[in-house]
Amino acid sequence: MLFAPIFRASNLPLPLLVLELLSLIILFLVFLDPEGGKKLSRNQLLLMGGILLLPALFLIPLPMDIWTLLPGRELYGMILQQGAADASSTWRSISIVGQITEHALWALVPPLVVFVATINQSRRNIQRLVYVVIGIAVFQSVLGLMQFGEGANSPLYFGNEYGNGSATGTYLNRDHLAGFLEMIFPIVFALFAATVGHHFDGSKRRSRWRKRMEFFSSVAGHRAIIFGGIGVLIVLALIFTRSR
């Protein structure tokens, strides 16, 4: 969760490989705990298994004669037979490009492991994880705004040739940064609304303003101001990503 957004969103082979290896280690540690995995319901296990099973089914090898009978395979079969004399005797995965399907299967491992690891955490730890993710969003937003301010030649792109003067953060693609911030903004807004909403009622206007001043001078009020500021920062970064 920390590694993915910071290192090119794990779109490059090496970061993705490291992320997948870390996911397997985390999964091993979760099930090493006697209580690990027990919080998963049967439906959750079935859903996770189905998510992994779908791309795995497309890796099943079939004889070329059967493979060409599948929808959309006839043209590919003709090209393969023209390119290799023994193509008719070879076996191919159901997927047209099996290697990409295999990569997609492995790419499903990190989000599923994050789900398993998170659901086994206490409520307090999950709250801490939320704050960590919000912290990453703040870092990405500040970096993106600095990139936009310095222009396309900013050294803050760290060699990313696809920045083009937009806010990209550590992502290669500005749309990926925008997608990440769009996921975090509702969480920040909900925390802001929950913090503010619990301290106001329908009392008279004069006492209401007094309560507001008292609230914003309290610890909870400071927390609300921080959440509000983070929300504004994320919105600004979203705008300057100039994402579609």
Domain residue limits, the chain: 1-59+95-120, 122-244
Provide DSSP, 190-239.
HHHHHHHHTT--S--HHHHHHHHHHHHTSHHHHHHHHHHHHHHHHHHHHH
CB atoms within 10 A of CB 237: 26
Predicted local distance difference test score (pLDDT) of residue 6: 58
Q: What integer pLDDT is reported at residue 205 of this predicted model?
A: 55
Q: What is the pLDDT of residue 53?
A: 95
SS3 62: strand
Please tell me the predicted confidence (pLDDT) of residue 33.
75
**pLDDT at residue 228, as a whole number:** 94
CB of 30 closer than 8 Å to CB of 37: yes
pTM of the model: 0.76
* Residues 110 and 19 sit within 8 Å (Cβ to Cβ): yes
Q: What is the pLDDT along the chain (244 residues), one digit of tens a residue?
A: 555 665 555 567 777 788 888 888 888 888 777 766 667 888 988 999 999 999 999 999 998 888 888 888 878 777 777 766 566 668 888 998 889 999 999 989 988 988 888 888 888 999 999 999 999 999 999 999 999 999 888 888 888 888 888 999 888 889 989 999 999 999 999 999 988 876 655 555 556 667 777 777 788 888 889 999 999 999 999 999 998 7
* Helix spans in 63-173 (H): 64-67, 74-83, 98-107, 109-119, 123-150
What is the per-residue pLDDT for 15?
75
